[in-house]
């Protein structure tokens, strides 16, 4: 899963660099592109994919807490 995340961040980084160095692009546009196409979706996907692991860890912690 993390390999896909790293690959997506790389692609979005290259999109942002292209936006920044384009004759009609801006650095602000590159930053917005990086956050909206890169970081926010990646954070959401990683959070959703780790939900079962968090639930399992919470159940385990609750079980050890009760003993």
- Report pTM: 0.76
Measured CA to CA, the distance from residue 37 to residue 22 in angstroms comes to 18
Measured CA to CA, the distance from residue 46 to residue 38 in angstroms comes to 12
pLDDT band with cut points at 50, 70 and 90 for residue 13: very high
**Residue-level pLDDT at 39:** 94
Domain boundaries, the chain: 2-66
**Residue-level pLDDT at 66:** 83
């Amino acid at each position: 899963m993390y390999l896909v995340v790293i690959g997506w961040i790389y692609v979005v980084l290259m999109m942002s660099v292209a936006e920044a160095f384009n004759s009609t692009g801006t650095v602000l546009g590159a930053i917005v592109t990086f956050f909206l196409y890169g970081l926010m979706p990646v954070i959401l996907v990683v959070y959703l994919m780790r939900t079962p692991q968090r639930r399992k860890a919470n159940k385990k912690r609750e079980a050890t807490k009760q003993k």
